[in-house]
A and B are shown apart, each in its own frame.
Chain A
Amino acid sequence: MTSDAKVIPLIAKPLTGEQAAAMAQHAIKKHHVAIMLLHWFNATVWLLQLATGAALIRSPYFRVVPYWYIRTVRGMFGTKANMLRFHITLGVVWIAVFAVYGIFGYRTYLVRQVLQREIRLDRDDLLWLKTRVLNLLKRASHSLPPQGIYNAGQKLFALSVYTMIPIVMITGVVMSFRLISTTAVQWAMVLHFVAVGFVVSGLMIHVYMGAVFPEEKPAFFSMITGMVNELYAYRHHFKWWREVKMQEEAWEEKLGYAAKRPIPAVAAVAIETEQPPEVAISQSIGTHKASLGYRIFRAPTYWPPYVAGAGLGFTLLATFLLIGQGLGASGAFARSVGALVAWIAPSYAAHSASWSIYAASGQSPLINFVVFEMLGVLAGGFVSGWLAGRLKLTTEKGPHISARKRHVLALAGGVLTGLGARLARGCTSGLALSGGAVLSVGGFIFMLAVFGAGFAGAYLTRRYWL
């Protein structure tokens, strides 16, 4: 930034190319991680509730989807009662999460986030709406007035959502638990349907703007990374940009002039490109190392995920064709322990409910696909790491915890993982990956639970990894 740009402008002026380029590089924080988590949780719930809710409505007056869809979705749950139970349970979880945010984060989320930033329309917002409509109708082509962190269109959507969500929640509870009176339940059905309809009509625009509309791409990514580039903020949310700049300036004054800008800019860009410095060096030296074979097998970079994923997929397919089941991992450990138990205490193992299944065929539990496959996994992983020069003895940990603590946590995590895998009868390989490929419902439920718990709890374990 040039020195004259130090004075924070009152109105958005046209930028020089140099200024715009510098601002495009500089990221500023837009969303807190708690807000992003809530957003995606809410999005997932809406998706699942709309999918199951639509299949619950059979009445010809209200039905919104074709019968084949209703049959398919009900088929996935087995019975209508199961699907209804799922819909109600998820709804209760949804209400509980919002309640937690509303109660424990009353000031932060309800007052500051929702009331002050998301739904309060000021004079600029009203002018924005008027100009936007006139421009759309081709009655005028005025430039839009400056906007805060959310523009007036977004605020209108938020307003409708925040009005309708309590209605959806209350009517849902009334219907589910048949509260008050039959008449109330009947009214609740209609209101539930209408309120959801309102949200869905806004949701269509919301999803279109976020996922498709090219100018709003930064807004979409800000919901994943929490950051937007300064240029986007300047052009689309000028008043918010100004607010951020004033805060930055206040901080700079507080800290003295020396401790200036670079910190947030670097922190924002350092996403995604976590590569060891050797990579950059090896890429810059000698052409003799640039042969295709070298780049595929010997280069210290990982393969692109879609390439490695396809390789994994073909291996999985071959396993189904040759062996008749998918790939696994935890089974090998369970069988090893089974063999150990049978060796030490044969009569106990033969009569124990959990260990006898492995010895049922009279053969050692170790003479099995998954056990020998696991031996191959060790070899394959070793060879791959060796070719790429990744073999080394080290404790992999986040920068802020000690190796000793990491070891203890690894053991604790391993205990949880092992328990989970045995309870579910499979791990991420045997159940999520292999089960997913043959469309096992349990596989997908397990997968959702794993990632659900991971994303939900990640905030608590951030100190271990970040």
Chain B
Amino acid sequence: MSAPPLPPSFSLTAYLLVSVILGFFFGFFLERAGFSSARKLTAQFYFKDFAVLKVMFTAIVVAMLGIAYFALLGWLDMSQIFVTPTFIGPQLAGGLLLGAGFIVGGY
């Protein structure tokens, strides 16, 4: 994962502090959604609890729309956003491995 250069307005301390705060909310919402429970996570594969898919796609759609609107209003330079590069073969294989690990290990 190649990190983009620090936003010029941030000092290193501020950047790391913001990272921790963002992480805090990330962890908080994940736990609130029940993602700390392996049984809840794996329940989707037995068609019993689709919380994982619901949470994930809600998050994706919210962030996606947010980014689109910010870019539309000119508040965000899309070229500064890091888009994870595509490597079809490795990502397909990696996904299959991770999916297998998911149902065996639970996370």
Contact = CB atoms under 8 A, between A and B. Distances in A.
Interface string A419-443: 1111111111111111111111111
Contacts of A325: 1, 3-4, 81-82
Interface hub of B58, B59, B87 (most chain A Cβ within 10 A): B59
Contact of A434 (B2, B21, B84): B84
B72 interface: no
B55 A36 contact: no
Contacts of B37: 396
A312 B63 CA distance: 9
Contacts of A311: 25, 28-29, 32
B33 A315 contact: no
B3 A433 contact: no
A305 interface: yes
Interface string B28-57: 111111101111101111111111011111
Contacts of A437: 59-60, 63-64, 67
Given A305-B58, A312-B30, A320 B63 contact: yes
Interface string B59-88: 111111011001000001000111111111
Contact of B60 (A328, A367, A433, A457): A433
Interface stretch (A54-62, A96-104, A444-452): A444-452
B48 to A, nearest CB: 6
Contacts of B82: 324-326, 438
Contacts of A435: 83-84
A11 interface: no
Contact of A413 (B29, B54, B92, B101): B101
Nearest to B44: A454
A423 B103 CA distance: 18
A103 to B, nearest CB: 23
Interface in A284-329: 302-303, 305-306, 308-328
A10 to B, nearest CB: 35
B86 A309 contact: no
Contacts of B58: 305-306, 308-310, 312-313
Interface residues on A, range: 35 or more
A461 B101 CA distance: 11
Interface in A379-401: 379-385, 390, 396-398
A303 B107 contact: no
Contacts of A375: 20, 23
B90 A423 contact: yes
A373 B19 contact: yes
A449 B59 contact: no
Contact of B33 (A308, A331, A423, A453): A308
Nearest to A311: B29
A312 B81 contact: no
Of residues B12, B46, B101, which shows the largest number of chain A Cβ atoms within 10 Å of its Cβ?
A: B101
A125 B7 CA distance: 70
Given A225-B47, A308-B32, A381-B30, A323 B18 contact: yes
Most B Cβ at <10 Å: residue of A421, A425, A460: A425
Contact of B97 (A224, A357, A420): A420
A390 B36 contact: yes
B20 A309 contact: no
Contacts of A371: 19
Contact of A302 (B21, B33, B57, B102): B33
Nearest to A447: B95
A369 B19 contact: yes
A16 B32 CA distance: 45
A380 B80 CA distance: 28
A432 B94 contact: no
Given A377-B24, A384-B31, A313 B66 contact: yes
23 contacts: A271-B48, A305-B51, A308-B29, A309-B56, A310-B59, A313-B66, A317-B67, A323-B15, A323-B19, A327-B22, A369-B15, A375-B23, A376-B25, A380-B30, A383-B24, A385-B31, A417-B107, A419-B94, A419-B101, A424-B90, A437-B63, A449-B96, A453-B96
Interface of B: 1-4, 7, 12, 15-16, 18-34, 36-40, 42-51, 53-64, 66-67, 70, 76, 80-88, 90-107
Given A324-B7, A417-B97, 6 more contacts: A314-B62, A396-B38, A425-B87, A438-B83, A439-B83, A450-B95
